[in-house]
C-alpha cells in the first residue's frame, strides 16, 4: 500500500512552495512523523513530516516549485515498519507514564499560548528564536521564546508550569492572537528516571559512534542563519550545541571564521601546473539572498510613504564647534565625576533644539487631516543604529531636562536599542528627531522626516577648515547641519530661522544657561 504525501496548505495567501532541502534519500526507510524535507514559501520555512512508515519514493527534487496539493513524494508502507513503530510508541508511552508517575502528575489541563498584543499599530510578529525546546519542562514566567515585531524584540514568558509543545516554528510570521505553543500543565517538576538516563546515555554513545547524524545536525535556526551569513561563515564550519546538533543563535554569535589552510606544493608540481592554469579574475562572483526582517520592511514602507506624501525640503548651515569643544575639554572630568556620565555633543544639540522649537512652534508641529497639531512640549527622538536596523527612541519632555539628565537618557536608550530591549512606549511619539551621521563619517546629507513629525535635524562629522574670522583666516572645527522639513506646514522663513537659532546657541553655549 502506498501513501501519497502532498504539499500541505501552509497559509491563506500562499499558493506555492519550493523544496529547500531533502533530509532523506530516495529509497530510504522512514518512520511516522520523521521530517523528510524543508519547504520554503514567501513568508516562512516549513518542515514536511512523514505521514506513514515505509520506503520513501521522491517525486520532486530540491529547488522544484510546487503548488499546494501537488504530490511531493510517496511512501510505500510496510507492515513490519508499522508494527515496529507501534512497539516503539508503546515502549515510549510506558517509559513516559512510569517517569511521570514517579515524579509528577499531569492535571489534564492544556494551556494554549497566543501571540500577545504588543502595540496598537502592530498586527503581526515573527518567531525569532525558541529558547526552550519542544518537550522541555518550563516553569511559570520562564522565557520560552523571542518574538520580533517591526519595532522591537520581545521575550515571551510561560503562562503556566508544565511540558512545552511547540506549535509555530522559528521564522514563522504570526498574527496577533495566533497560537504559538501549548503547555501541558503538571503538578510538580518532573525528575529524570534512571531508565531514561541510561537510555539517553546509550543513545548519546550510539549517536557519537555512528557516522549518521539527525536532520537537525548542522542546521541553523533562522536567527542563527542570518548572523552566520552576515559574518560570511558557512553552517558546516560551526558546531551546533542545540537539540540534535542544531546551530543556535548563541553558536552563531560565538562563531569565528576559520582561516584557510595553506597549500603545500612542491616546486616541480607548481612549475608543471603553471602553464596549464587559466588566468583568474580577482574578486568573488558569489551572491546571496536574504529575506527582509519585519523591522526593515516597515522602515522601507514608511520612508517611501514620507517621500511620496510630504513636500520635503532641506536647508543647510554650518556650526563652529570650537566653543562647545573647549567647554567639554574644560569640564568633562568634573562632569563625569559628579554625574557618572560623559559630556557629549548630543546634550548641547538637544538643549539648543528645544529652545529653538519653543520659539518656532511650527517646526514642532504635525499635520492631522485638515488640522495642524502644535505641541507645547519637546519629545526628542534620537536615531540609533541597532543590530536589526535603525530605531528612534524618544527622550520625553527634553525641554525640562538638564545636561546630565539628557546624557543619562541618551546612554540608557542607546544601550537598550543595541541590546534589542526597547519597549513600544519608548519608541512611540516624538515631536522632532535628531540624527547623527557624523559618527559614521558623513560630511553632509539630507535626512528623511520621521513621520508623522514635520522636521528632522541632521548632524555630521567635524572637520577642521580655514574660515574667515574678522578679516583673518583661522582653522576651526566646523560641522554642517541639515534641517529637512515638510514645506506644507513649515515655511522657508521658519525653517531657516530655526536652523540659524540652533547655530547661534551652539556657537555660544553660555546662552543655553541663561536662556537668551
Q: What is the DSSP string of 352-420?
A: HHHHHHHHSGGGG-EEETTEEE--SS--EEE-EEETTEEE--EETTGGG--HHHHHHHHHHHHHHHHTT
Beta bridge partners of 19: 39
**What pLDDT is stored for residue 194 in this prediction?**
42
Q: What is the pLDDT along the chain (516 residues), one digit of tens a residue?
A: 788 888 888 766 677 888 878 888 888 888 888 888 888 776 566 788 888 888 998 988 888 888 888 899 999 886 544 444 555 555 555 555 444 444 456 667 888 898 888 766 677 888 888 889 998 999 888 889 888 876 677 788 998 889 999 998 888 888 888 899 999 888 777 665 444 444 545 444 444 444 445 545 666 666 677 677 777 787 777 777 765 676 776 777 777 766 555 555 544 454 445 555 555 666 788 888 887 776 777 778 888 888 888 899 999 999 999 999 999 999 989 999 999 999 999 999 999 999 999 999 999 999 998 899 999 999 999 998 877 777 899 999 999 999 999 999 999 998 888 888 888 888 888 999 999 988 888 999 999 999 889 999 999 999 999 999 999 999 999 999 999 999 999 999 999 999 999 999 999 998 887 776
**What pLDDT is stored for residue 116 in this prediction?**
86
Q: Where do the domains of the chain lie?
A: 2-82, 104-187, 296-514
Which helix (DSSP H) or strand (DSSP E) does residue 181 occupy?
A: strand 179-187
Per DSSP, the three-state class of 486 is strand
Per DSSP, the three-state class of 94 is helix
**What pLDDT is stored for residue 507 in this prediction?**
94
Quote the pTM value: 0.53
Closest-CA residue to 457 (of 377, 512, 365, 382): 382
Per DSSP, the three-state class of 126 is strand
Residues written for the chain: 516
**443 Cβ partners below 8 Å, 6+ apart?**
460, 461, 463, 480
Residue carrying the nine cell digits 515524579: 103
**What pLDDT is stored for residue 513 in this prediction?**
77
Closest-CA residue to 462 (of 320, 253, 284, 295): 320
Residue 138 CB burial class (10 angstroms; 0-12, 13-18, ≥19):
buried
**What pLDDT is stored for residue 102 in this prediction?**
45
**What pLDDT is stored for residue 257 in this prediction?**
63
Closest-CA residue to 315 (of 248, 262, 363): 363
**351 Cβ partners below 8 Å, 6+ apart?**
398, 403, 406, 505, 512
Which helix (DSSP H) or strand (DSSP E) does residue 464 occupy?
A: strand 462-469
Q: Which residues are catalytic?
A: 487, 491
- Evaluate whether the domain defined by 296-514 bears CATH number 3.30.559.10: yes
Residue carrying the nine cell digits 529637512: 484
- Evaluate whether the domain defined by 104-187 bears CATH number 2.40.50.100: yes
**What pLDDT is stored for residue 472 in this prediction?**
93
Closest-CA residue to 465 (of 450, 478, 483, 454): 478
**What pLDDT is stored for residue 121 in this prediction?**
65
What topology does CATH give the domain 2-82? OB fold (Dihydrolipoamide Acetyltransferase, E2P) (2.40.50)
**What pLDDT is stored for residue 16 in this prediction?**
81
Per DSSP, the three-state class of 295 is helix
Cα–Cα distance, 150 to 138 (Å, whole number): 28
Closest-CA residue to 421 (of 154, 117, 129, 121): 154
| Same fold yes or no, 2-82 and 296-514 | no
Amino acid at each position: 500500500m502506498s501513501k501519497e504525501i502532498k504539499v500541505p496548505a501552509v497559509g491563506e495567501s500562499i499558493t506555492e512552495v519550493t523544496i529547500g532541502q531533502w533530509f532523506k534519500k530516495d529509497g530510504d526507510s522512514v518512520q511516522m512523523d520523521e521530517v523528510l524535507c524543508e519547504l520554503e514559501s514567501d513568508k516562512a520555512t516549513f518542515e514536511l513530516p512523514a505521514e506513514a512508515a515505509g520506503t520513501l519514493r521522491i517525486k520532486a527534487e530540491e529547488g522544484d516549485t510546487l503548488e499546494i496539493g501537488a504530490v511531493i513524494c510517496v511512501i510505500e508502507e510496510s507492515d513490519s515498519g508499522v508494527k515496529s513503530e507501534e512497539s516503539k510508541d508503546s515502549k515510549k508511552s510506558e517509559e513516559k507514564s512510569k517517569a511521570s508517575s514517579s515524579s509528577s502528575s499531569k492535571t489534564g489541563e492544556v494551556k494554549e499560548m497566543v501571540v500577545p498584543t504588543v502595540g496598537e499599530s502592530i498586527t503581526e510578529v515573527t518567531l525569532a528564536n525558541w529558547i526552550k525546546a519542544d518537550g522541555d519542562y518550563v516553569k511559570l514566567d520562564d522565557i520560552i521564546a523571542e518574538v520580533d515585531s517591526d519595532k522591537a524584540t520581545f521575550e515571551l514568558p510561560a503562562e503556566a508550569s508544565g511540558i512545552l509543545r511547540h506549535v509555530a516554528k522559528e521564522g514563522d510570521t504570526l498574527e496577533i492572537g495566533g497560537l504559538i505553543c501549548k503547555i501541558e500543565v503538571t503538578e510538580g517538576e518532573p525528575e529524570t528516571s534512571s531508565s531514561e538516563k541510561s537510555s539517553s546515555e546509550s543513545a548519546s554513545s550510539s549517536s557519537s559512534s555512528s557516522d549518521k547524524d539527525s536532520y537537525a545536525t548542522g542546521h541553523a535556526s533562522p536567527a542563527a542563519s542570518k548572523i552566520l551569513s552576515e559574518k560570511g561563515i558557512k553552517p558546516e564550519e560551526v558546531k551546533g550545541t542545540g537539540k540534535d546538533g542544531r546551530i543556535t543563535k548563541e553558536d552563531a554569535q560565538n562563531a569565528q571564521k576559520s582561516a584557510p589552510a595553506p597549500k603545500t606544493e612542491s616546486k616541480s608540481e607548481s612549475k608543471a601546473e603553471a602553464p596549464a592554469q587559466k588566468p583568474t579574475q580577482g574578486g568573488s562572483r558569489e551572491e546571496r539572498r536574504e529575506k527582509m526582517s519585519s523591522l526593515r520592511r516597515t522602515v522601507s514602507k514608511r520612508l517611501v510613504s514620507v517621500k511620496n506624501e510630504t513636500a520635503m525640503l532641506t536647508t543647510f548651515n554650518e556650526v563652529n564647534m570650537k566653543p562647545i569643544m573647549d567647554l567639554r575639554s574644560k569640564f568633562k572630568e568634573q562632569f563625569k565625576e559628579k554625574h557618572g556620565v560623559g559630556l557629549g555633543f548630543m546634550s548641547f544639540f538637544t538643549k539648543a533644539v528645544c529652545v529653538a522649537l519653543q520659539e518656532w512652534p511650527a517646526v514642532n508641529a504635525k499635520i492631522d487631516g485638515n488640522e495642524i497639531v502644535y505641541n507645547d512640549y519637546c519629545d526628542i527622538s534620537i536615531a540609533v543604529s541597532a543590530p536589526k536596523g535603525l530605531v528612534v527612541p524618544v527622550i520625553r519632555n527634553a525641554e525640562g531636562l538638564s545636561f546630565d539628565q539628557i546624557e543619562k537618557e541618551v546612554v540608557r536608550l542607546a544601550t537598550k536599542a543595541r541590546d534589542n530591549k526597547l519597549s513600544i512606549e519608548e519608541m512611540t511619539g516624538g515631536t522632532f528627531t535628531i540624527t547623527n551621521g557624523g559618527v559614521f563619517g558623513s560630511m553632509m546629507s539630507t535626512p528623511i522626516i520621521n513621520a508623522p513629525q514635520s522636521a528632522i535635524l541632521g548632524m555630521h562629522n567635524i572637520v577642521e577648515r580655514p574660515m574667515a574670522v574678522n578679516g583673518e583666516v583661522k582653522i576651526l572645527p566646523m560641522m554642517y547641519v541639515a534641517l529637512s522639513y515638510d514645506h506644507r506646514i513649515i515655511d522657508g522663513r521658519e525653517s531657516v530661522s530655526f536652523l540659524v537659532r540652533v547655530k547661534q546657541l551652539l556657537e555660544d553655549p553660555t546662552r543655553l544657561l541663561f536662556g537668551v
